[in-house]
Structure 1
């Protein structure tokens, strides 16, 4: 069965003690309000994730500013729930920011939102909530928790596929799902309708812009952020035969599939655009080539996280490879080191460090971190 609003916990069907993570945005505010309206004992908490928060946002960029904290507090006051600010800045720096920098330094492309959900919201926050006697953590994510007849939990896509965020929640295990509440996941409403609901509830965040990009890089300049952390490291841009085409100030500033921002003086012989095919942190070299060299037929992935019982044999699934990417049909097989995934048809622009999330219909089976890819053209194999 699916509980309306996905309120699950150790005392299903009864009044739960719920800790609502309130970012200061409209989604988390409406989620907290719905949980309270459903009769649960809700307490709001804003996570202070920056050691030196800015006073105000820059448009829709960034989060965790002092303005966001105040917006969350005002929303909690309107809802009529207690509110606290918890300082998790040091844990966030270690588990999310430093991991992000280290992954780029190693030539990989991480997704910090998955790492935050795994390490912060449903590890550090959930563990603290359970220690304080709460039954569940509530967030404004668009996803659905289904409770089976045997009491086990499953994570499913949100009813509205356009807003589905199950990809970034694919790192949650069954224990964490048992204490997760996503009140927005089973509502077929547009974002405008969520904002209209916030207005009806007199929540001042009703028209606040959504945050986007990487929350701890408020100006959106990822390359500049990495340059400040990793410094300048000049290297070569080469073609598939190793011929030098240009230079760069740091291989960390590139991602697989990137087309723009490369200082290449020599045009391709066929006149077609060239894309980043490979990033080698050892030699500090970026390899570029034609678009078709990006076609990936299979991948291996490590550090699997299963949303329930792990699969024991090869099976047919769909896979999502980006937060807003499309499902693609695959065959996936667990291995001693993680997972091997073969695509029915080649897919393009997959980078090590990204997450592959497997689905069985709408159910999230689990996720893993991409380690290597196999390309259709031998010269492009990584």
Structure 2
């Protein structure tokens, strides 16, 4: 294409009609709006939905994605907007790449975030390769995050609407993937704006509720899923105070998470106690006062770096980091130990930092409006 041709809305110097876009469709409002919007703009749209687990078991579950009625909804949107739609059976890949690790990580006393692994190992890996096989120019998703052009290539930025921002779950997106990906909803001011677009295109999913929890964990019952995946995993043990006192019995370490206070079953004590450590080998749930939850130094590995300079080009980086999806980024010093490992020092200690969670890197002055994401890694020991 001639260099003087203006960029289309996806940043390519091609007419929309000659630009093929694969849209990852979960059956929800967000990805449906992306597909409809791009089709309306004249792009060559192909919708792809992944069946990630037994849809028969999920047909009646509200708030899931990628199964049962959601596949049906995605297909209906494609029919309404007149573009091709494919359903790919990714059950085995999802089981191996996401569910099995989730179970093993949980049994190891960690607090895993399978949605990140799903994006990293399934949607932005296998599905992205499928999009290229379909000769797509780009792949678009309904995630609330922004891709911006920088001096050194595309950059990842938080969504305009902080309440919808999904950057914590997308930190492992690589620079190579970012070249191919597009996120058309990231600049919208609110979810209401997305639903207005759904109404504009008269989509059948316009009023569909948002998905909640982890798609393969019905009703948020993590322990119940783990027991099904790993029979016999809920072995009883002792609830032990950090000073060594045995305070009671529990029905399995998998029923507890770091920072938990309620439901410990050890009432009658003068001080409020929290789960501060899970000792899987001894089958101990270790509890202690709230101050024991405070963490200042966090070891991080499997780092995906999205900065302009090599990660190890500096002895330390002044950044903000987020150690839980529901918490705001906090100022920190990130000290590289290798290309993929670092020690993160929080300037203000955080409570309830748990192995298995992600530590995501943001611009130091994120709170002042610098929305750039510098990648992140996985917290690997408490």
Structures share a fold, TM > 0.5? yes
Quickly say closer, same or farther: Cα 1:365–1:55, change in 2 above 3 A. Answer: closer
In structure 2, the partner of 1:141 is 143
Quickly say closer, same or farther: Cα 1:4–1:352, change in 2 above 3 A. Answer: farther
- Stretches of structure 2 that go unaligned for 5 or more consecutive residues are 1-5, 364-369
Partners of 2:24 and 2:60 in 1: how far apart?
A: 19
Shift of 1:335: 0.7
Quickly say closer, same or farther: Cα 1:13–1:281, change in 2 above 3 A. Answer: farther
3-state SS of the aligned residue for 1:205?
Answer: coil
In structure 1, the partner of 2:126 is 124
In structure 1, the partner of 2:357 is 354
In structure 1, the partner of 2:112 is 110
In structure 1, the partner of 2:176 is 175
In structure 2, the partner of 1:369 is 378
Quickly say closer, same or farther: Cα 1:178–1:14, change in 2 above 3 A. Answer: farther
Q: Contact (CA 8 Å) 2:7, 2:13: kept in 1 or not?
A: no
- Stretches of structure 1 that go unaligned for 5 or more consecutive residues are 374-382
In structure 1, the partner of 2:301 is 302
Structure with bigger RCO (C-alpha 8 Å, 6+ apart): 1
Shift of 1:354: 0.2
Partners of 1:4 and 1:329 in 2: how far apart?
A: 37
3-state SS of the aligned residue for 1:53?
Answer: helix
The superposition leaves residues 304-357 of structure 1 with CA deviations (integer Å, 9 ceiling, x where unpaired) of: 112355422211111111222211000101113601110111111110110000
In structure 2, the partner of 1:224 is 224
The superposition leaves residues 70-99 of structure 1 with CA deviations (integer Å, 9 ceiling, x where unpaired) of: 100111112221111011111001111001
- Structure 1 residue aligned with 2:26, among 23, 26, 30? 23
Q: Contact (CA 8 Å) 1:6, 1:144: kept in 2 or not?
A: no
Partners of 2:171 and 2:9 in 1: how far apart?
A: 16
- Aligned residue pairs, count: 363
3-state SS of the aligned residue for 2:163?
Answer: helix
Partners of 1:162 and 1:21 in 2: how far apart?
A: 22
Mapping of residues 58-69 of structure 1, within 5 Å: 58-60=61-63, 62-69=64-71
Q: Contact (CA 8 Å) 1:5, 1:181: kept in 2 or not?
A: no
Partners of 1:257 and 1:171 in 2: how far apart?
A: 26
Quickly say closer, same or farther: Cα 1:186–1:129, change in 2 above 3 A. Answer: same
Partners of 1:303 and 1:20 in 2: how far apart?
A: 28
Q: TM-score, normalised by structure 1?
A: 0.90
The superposition leaves residues 191-232 of structure 1 with CA deviations (integer Å, 9 ceiling, x where unpaired) of: 223212211201010111111111111232111111222323
Quickly say closer, same or farther: Cα 1:149–1:301, change in 2 above 3 A. Answer: closer
Q: Contact (CA 8 Å) 2:55, 2:68: kept in 1 or not?
A: no
4+ runs of 1 displaced by more than 4 Å? 3-6, 11-14
Partners of 2:324 and 2:60 in 1: how far apart?
A: 26
Q: TM-score, normalised by structure 2?
A: 0.90
